[in-house]
């Protein structure tokens, strides 16, 4: 009897050990299979990395056709990277290719599996453009429930609810605005909207709370701003909520130019005249190649190499940066009569009679990601636009209301408005 029970126990133990071993082997095999399947796809090639950031630069300057071309050229190589599909959706959205944008963002979401909230917000923006506001509201509500700290998405939901114009939607908007203000009590855009909405919906206590918060911040605001806020406060005290809402509208319009208000606008994801859609600025799955810093060169050693740069002596030398289809930096040589770029044939360049500190400068004048050359001389200002072939075409700059001869030129964003400006000098005027 005992031997029989003992034998049965051994069989059970043996079966358990075999089963556990089989499970362990299965787990190891699955992990190895996954590693072999996904490891190569997680390393981004230099070409993919370079093209991705070129496309990002194109999106930043609203060169959306160029961005779409670049992204389409690499998405086939790395189809499992959500960022590529998301930015392709942004480019197509701006180009009004709405079906293509929806396909691209759907692919990005399927790969991301809800990890990154910015993809959900982009999905909502695509749905809005497709006219499916109800679906956009639904996914933004779900996102707010999961990640209430995503302020830009929350405010986008507020904006969409404002289009419905029902009491229920207004109450939900107020709750969302109050949630934003819990985390950022100084957000003037959200505070103004909450106060005005509380006035128009008859929520006196909430109106008073928001007015008091605004009054506490008002000491340094311009007088017209303070006057409209005081009028809103007086109307609220008199329980004239309609007049209070109207005064708050005038108050906010006068408040908009202040730095504090502009800060709140940026935090809510509102960027004025910026194009629709916010690009993803880095990979979500892929690993970029490690950047290895070259060892410091502690010895100053130069080798003299003679090179014929121009048919005459060069008075000025500049370096033209290389681009994707060029392997090395080209030298620009300017003499009294000639302009030479690399090994291209010399071009006529009549230098200014006066001495020049900067007779030429380099800038991407037409935003095609190819550096161009701008010169100043006896024949005025000239733009030399680089072509895809590496050649240059001369383009005159019309400065007919100014002296024809300039001696120096610089490229700089003088007004800090994102547009490239040219600063010229005739060597005499002050």
- Give the pLDDT confidence score for residue 400 in this predicted structure: 59
Residue 4 has what pLDDT? 46
- Dihedral, CA of residue 269, residue 365, residue 97 and residue 80, to nearest 10: -70
Read out DSSP for 140-168? HHHHHHH-TT-HHHHHHHHHHHHTT--HH
Report the pLDDT value the prediction gives residue 403, as an integer from 0 to 100. Answer: 57
Residue ranges in the chain whose pLDDT is less than 50: 1-8, 10, 12, 17-18, 28, 32-40
Cα–Cα distances in angstroms (integers) from residue 301 to residues 296, 297, 328, 329, in the given order = 13, 9, 21, 20
Q: Is domain 46-267 classified as CATH 1.25.40.10?
A: yes
Q: What's the predicted TM-score (pTM) here? A: 0.63
What is the distance, to the nearest Å, from the Cα of residue 418 to the centroid of all Cα atoms in its chain?
A: 14
User: b/e map of 371-393 (b: 16 or more CB within 10 Å)?
Assistant: bbbbbbbebbbbbbbbeeebebe
d(CA 234, CA 231): 5
Position 1 scores a pLDDT of 44
Tokens for 377, please give them: 């001389």
Domains of the chain, by residue range, sit at 46-267, 316-425
Decide: 276 and 300 in contact? Cβ < 8 Å: no
């Amino acid at each position: 009897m005992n031997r029989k029970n003992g034998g049965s126990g051994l069989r059970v133990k043996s079966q358990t050990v075999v089963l556990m071993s089989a499970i362990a082997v299965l787990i190891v095999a699955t992990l190895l299979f996954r590693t072999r399947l996904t490891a190569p796809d997680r390393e981004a090639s230099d070409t993919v990395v370079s093209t991705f950031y070129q496309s990002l630069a194109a999106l930043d300057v609203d060169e959306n056709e160029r961005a779409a071309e670049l992204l389409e050229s690499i998405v086939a190589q790395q189809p499992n990277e959500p960022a590529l599909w998301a930015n392709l959706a942004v480019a197509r959205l701006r180009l009004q290719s709405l079906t293509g944008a929806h396909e691209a963002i759907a692919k990005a979401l399927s790969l991301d599996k809800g990890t990154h909230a910015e993809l959900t917000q982009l999905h909502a923006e695509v749905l809005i453009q497709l006219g499916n506001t109800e679906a956009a509201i639904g996914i933004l509500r779900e996102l707010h429930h999961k990640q209430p700290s995503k302020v830009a998405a929350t405010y986008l939901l507020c904006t969409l609810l404002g289009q419905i114009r029902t009491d229920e939607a207004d109450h939900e908007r107020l709750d969302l605005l109050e949630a934003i203000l819990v985390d950022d009590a100084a957000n003037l855009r959200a505070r103004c909207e909450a106060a005005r909405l509380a006035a128009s919906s008859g929520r006196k206590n909430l109106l008073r709370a928001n007015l008091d918060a605004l009054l506490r911040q008002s000491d340094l605001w311009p007088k017209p701003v303070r006057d409209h806020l005081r009028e809103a406060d007086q109307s609220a005290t008199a329980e004239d909520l309609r007049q209070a809402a109207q005064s708050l509208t005038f108050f906010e319009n006068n408040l908009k130019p202040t730095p504090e208000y502009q800060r709140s606008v940026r935090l809510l994801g509102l960027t004025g005249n910026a194009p629709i859609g916010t690009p993803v600025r880095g990979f979500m799955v892929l690993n970029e190649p490690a950047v290895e810093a070259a060892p410091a060169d502690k010895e100053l050693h130069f080798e003299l190499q003679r090179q014929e740069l121009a048919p005459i002596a060069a008075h000025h030398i500049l370096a033209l940066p290389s681009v994707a289809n060029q392997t090395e930096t080209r030298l620009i040589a300017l003499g009294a009569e000639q302009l030479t770029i690399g090994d291209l044939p010399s071009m006529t360049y009549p230098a200014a009679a006066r001495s020049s500190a900067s007779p030429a400068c380099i800038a991407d004048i037409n935003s095609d990601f190819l550096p161009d050359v701008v010169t100043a001389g006896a024949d005025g200002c000239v733009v030399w636009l680089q072509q895809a072939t590496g050649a240059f075409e001369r383009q005159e700059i019309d400065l007919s209301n100014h002296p024809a001869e300039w001696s120096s030129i610089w490229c700089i964003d003088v007004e800090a408005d994102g547009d490239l400006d040219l600063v010229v000098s005739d060597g005499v005027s002050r």
